[in-house]
């Protein structure tokens, strides 16, 4: 019973991820077109690369923070071996 539930959850998560990913595929050609049509493509591409790095910082920080909390309190219930 538990294995069926896990398979159901994984299948539903995959379906949601695939459904939500479709709009994201449209962004790459738009960025490429903006860079190609600009007067200074090098400056625009550097700006876009910096924007991607800036937008990447919050999710990475959240993941690292949550992982750190889980790692620190991994033996919270007293299952620590001496």
pLDDT for res 4:
86
Asked if residue 44 and residue 66 are part of one domain, the reply reads yes
Output 1 or 52, whichever has higher pLDDT.
Answer: 52
**Predicted pLDDT of residue 24:** 59
Supply the pLDDT for residue 18: 79
Q: Is 18 in the same domain as 45?
A: no
CB 48 within 8 Å of CB 28: no
Instruction: Examine residue 31 and state whether it is found in any structural domain, yes or no.
Output: no
- Cβ-contact 44, 38 below 8 angstroms: yes
49 and 69 share one domain: yes
At 11-52, the pLDDT tens digits run 999 888 877 766 655 667 777 788 788 888 888 888 888 888
Q: Which domain holds residue 68?
A: 38-75
Q: How many domains does the chain have?
A: 2
């Amino acid at each position: 019973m538990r294995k069926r539930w896990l398979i159901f959850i994984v299948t539903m998560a995959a379906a949601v991820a695939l459904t939500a990913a479709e709009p994201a595929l449209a962004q790459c050609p738009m960025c490429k077109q903006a860079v190609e049509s600009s007067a200074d493509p090098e400056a625009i591409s550097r700006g876009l690369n910096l924007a991607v790095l800036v937008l990447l910082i919050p999710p990475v920080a959240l993941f690292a923070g949550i992982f750190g909390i889980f790692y620190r309190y991994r033996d919270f219930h007293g299952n620590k071996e001496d």
